[in-house]
Structure 1
Amino acid sequence: MRILITGRQGQVGTCLTEKLSHEASFEVLALTKTELDITDQARVNEVVYDFSPNIIINAAAYTAVDKAEEQVQLAYGINRDGPSYLAKVSQQIGATLLHISTDYVFDGNKLEEYVETDATKPLGIYGQSKLAGELAVAEFCEKHIILRTSWVFGEYGNNFVKTMLRIGAVREQLNIVGDQFGGPTYAGDIADSLIEIAKKIEKDNEIPYGVYHFSGLPQLSWYEFADFIFEQASAQGVITSKPILGKISTEEYPTLAKRPANSRLKVDKLTESFSIEASNWKAAMSDLKKYIG
C-alpha cells in the first residue's frame, strides 16, 4: 500500500510522516510544498503517476485566515485548485483521496453541534476557498474522504497553544475571546484518524466515502481553552505564574476575517463508520514543554 502525503511540513503532515514511518505495511512518499506545489497541475500529475499511490492524503492548505482576505488568489489556488488537481489524478489512477477541511465552511450560527449534512455558509475567503476544495474533491474523485476538523494544535507549526505559551511567559495579564466555541483538536489525533482510515481502505473494499467530522472533546470557548493551557503550564513549570485572564467578546477583538461563533462539530458519523473517537485534547497537553520553541 503506497501513500502520498502533501504538505509534509504542516501540523498534520509532520505528524503523519512521523507516525507512518513506523508502519511497515505502508510505503510512504511525503513531500513539502517545495517538493510538490499542489497548485502546479503538471507537477501533481508527474509525481502521482511516477509514485502511483493507492492513497493520497492532502495535508497541504492555506490556513492564514485573515491574510486570505487579501491573498484571495493564493488561498483559492492552494485550497481549491490544488485539491481539484489531486482529485482528478486520483480518479485517473483509481486512488483514494483523503482531504482535510475545516469548521470554517459553516457560519457558526447554529446552536447545536454541526453534522456533516448541515448547510454550509462560510463567512470569509478562507472558509469559502476550503469549501470550494471540498466540492472539487467530491466532484472529481469518486473514492474520497473529506475530514473536517477544528481548532488544530500540536507541537509543530503555529497554533493557539504555542501562541498562548509564548505570550504567557512574558505577560501578566491578557484578554481572550469568550463567545466563540469549538473543540480543540490535536494534530497527532488527526494523523492517527487518517491512518486508521487508510488501514480500513487497505483491508476493505466497502468504504463509506464522503464527508466526516473529527474534533476534540470537551468543547469550550477560547477563553476556557486558554485558562486550561495556563493552568497546565503553571502546574508543569512551563511558565512561572499563570497570567490574569480577561474575557472579551468577538466585537472587542476585531479581525480582518469573521470567525464562526460556533465551531462545534459532531463526530458520531466517524465513530460509527470507522470506530474513531473524538480527539482527547487534554491528554495531548500532559507535557507542554514539547510545545515550546
Structure 2
Amino acid sequence: MKILLTGKNGQVGFELQRALAPLGTVHAVDSSDCDLADEQALRALIRASCPDLIVNPAAYTAVDRAEDEAGGQLATAVNAIAPGVMGEEAARLGAAVIHYSTDYVFDGHKATPYVETDPTAPLGAYGRSKRDGELALMRSTPRHIVLRTSWVVGAHGNNFAKTMLRLAAERDELRVVSDQFGAPTSAALIADVTAHLVRQLQRTGTEPFPYGLYHATAGGETSWCDYARFVIGYALRTGHALRVTPNEVHPIGSDQYPTAARRPTNSRLDTTLFRSTFGFELPHWQEGLGHILQQILRTP
C-alpha cells in the first residue's frame, strides 16, 4: 500500500510516521514540501504520488489567529478547502482518505458527550474551517474516514502539558481554566488508532468497509485545571523539581482568561460508535498522558 501522509512534523503526523511504517510505503510531507493552501500544488503532489491512501493530520491550528483576516483565510484554505481537494483526487485514483477533525466543530453547550449525529455549531473561525473541511471531504468521496478528536498532546511539538511544566518551573502559582471539560488524547493513541483502521482496510478485500465519521478520544474526562494538576503531580512524583505543586494550581473561570476565539465548554466526545465498529478500546487519558510525560521529562 502506498500512503501519502501530510503534516509529518506535527504532533500527530510525527507519530503516524512510526505507526504507518510497517503497513506500506509512506511518503511523508510537510509544508516545506507542499503548501496545502496551494490547491494546484496539492493536486500535483497527489497525482505524482499516486497513493492508495491519503492520511491528513495537517491543519492550521492557531485557534486565536484564525479570528483575524489573514489567519482566517489560511485556516479556510488548509482546513476547509484542502480536504475536499484530497477527496477529489483520491476519488480519481480510487484511493481512500483518513482525515482528522476536532471538538471545536461543536459549541460546547450540550450537557452530555457529543455523538457523531449531533448538529455542529462552531464558535469561531477555526471550528468553522474544520467543520467545512469535514463536509468538503464527505462530499468529494465516499471512501473517507473522518476522526474527530480533542485536546491532543504529544512528546513532539508544543502543547498544554509542556507549557504547564515550563510555567510550573518559573512561577510560584498557576491559574488555569476549570470550566471547560474534555479528554486529553495522546498523539500516539491517534496514530495507533489510525494504524488499526488501515490494517482493517487492508484486510477488507471485497467486503464493504465502514467508512464515515467517528469520534476517537482517550477515555475519561477532566478540566484544564485538573489536567495541569495531573501533569505537575506526575513530574514531582518522578523526581523533577518544580516551584509549583498541584495545590498551587488554582481554578478560574473562562471569563477570567479571555481569548480571541471562544472555546467550547464541553469538548467531550462519545466514542461508542468507533469502539463498537472497529473493536478498539480507548485507554483512559491518564494512561496515555503518563506515557507522553515519561518521554517529555526525560528529554534534556
Distance 1:72 1:92, change over 3 A: same
Name the structure 1 match of 2:116: 116
CA RMSD of aligned residues (A): 1.4
**SS of equivalent to 1:135:** helix
In structure 2, give the amino acid aligned to 1:115: V
Name the structure 2 match of 1:264: 268
Query: Counterparts of 2:183 and 2:292 in 1: how far apart (Å)?
Result: 20
Name the structure 1 match of 2:24: 26
Contact 1:161 1:291 in 2 (8 A): no
Name the structure 2 match of 1:238: 240
Query: Counterparts of 2:105 and 2:266 in 1: how far apart (Å)?
Result: 11
Return the offset for 1:280.
3.4
Range with bigger deviation, 28-37 or 102-111: 28-37
Query: Counterparts of 2:241 and 2:266 in 1: how far apart (Å)?
Result: 30
Aligned match for 1:290, one of 283, 295, 299: 295
The CA deviation string for residues 2-29 of structure 1, in whole angstroms up to 9 with x for no partner, is: 11100111000000012223x1x41111
The CA deviation string for residues 76-131 of structure 1, in whole angstroms up to 9 with x for no partner, is: 01101111111110111111110000000000000001000001000000000000
Query: Counterparts of 1:30 and 1:281 in 2: how far apart (Å)?
Result: 28
Query: Counterparts of 1:287 and 1:267 in 2: how far apart (Å)?
Result: 22
Query: Counterparts of 1:15 and 1:59 in 2: how far apart (Å)?
Result: 10
If each structure's helix is expressed as a fraction of its own residues, which one has the higher value? 2
Return the offset for 1:156.
1.2
Q: What are the equivalent positions in structure 2 for 1:46-195 lying under 5 Å apart?
A: 46-70=44-68, 71-195=71-195
Q: Residue 15 in 1 paired to residue 15 in 2?
A: yes
The unaligned stretches of length 5 or more in structure 2 are: none
Return the offset for 1:281.
2.8
**SS of equivalent to 2:213:** strand
Query: Counterparts of 1:61 and 1:171 in 2: how far apart (Å)?
Result: 32
In structure 2, give the amino acid aligned to 1:86: M
In structure 1, give the amino acid aligned to 2:262: K
Range with bigger deviation, 167-176 or 41-50: 41-50
Q: What are the equivalent positions in structure 2 for 1:36-47 lying under 5 Å apart?
A: 36-47=34-45
Query: Counterparts of 2:218 and 2:161 in 1: how far apart (Å)?
Result: 14
Contact 2:186 2:292 in 1 (8 A): no
Contact 1:168 1:239 in 2 (8 A): no
Distance 1:287 1:79, change over 3 A: closer
**SS of equivalent to 1:262:** coil
Contact 2:83 2:133 in 1 (8 A): yes
In structure 1, give the amino acid aligned to 2:44: E
Distance 1:259 1:287, change over 3 A: closer
Name the structure 2 match of 1:255: 259
Distance 1:28 1:286, change over 3 A: closer
Range with bigger deviation, 189-198 or 199-208: 199-208
The CA deviation string for residues 23-79 of structure 1, in whole angstroms up to 9 with x for no partner, is: 1x4111110111122222222222222221111000110011111101110110110
Q: TM-score, normalised by structure 2?
A: 0.94
Query: Counterparts of 1:279 and 1:28 in 2: how far apart (Å)?
Result: 27
Query: Counterparts of 1:158 and 1:64 in 2: how far apart (Å)?
Result: 12
Query: Counterparts of 1:221 and 1:146 in 2: how far apart (Å)?
Result: 25
Q: Residue 208 in 1 paired to residue 210 in 2?
A: yes
In structure 2, give the amino acid aligned to 1:196: H
Query: Counterparts of 2:8 and 2:240 in 1: how far apart (Å)?
Result: 28
The unaligned stretches of length 5 or more in structure 1 are: none
In structure 1, give the amino acid aligned to 2:213: V
Query: Counterparts of 1:227 and 1:124 in 2: how far apart (Å)?
Result: 28
Query: Counterparts of 1:91 and 1:238 in 2: how far apart (Å)?
Result: 51
Distance 1:114 1:287, change over 3 A: closer
Q: TM-score, normalised by structure 1?
A: 0.96
Query: Counterparts of 2:283 and 2:120 in 1: how far apart (Å)?
Result: 23
Return the offset for 1:173.
0.2
Matched positions, count: 291
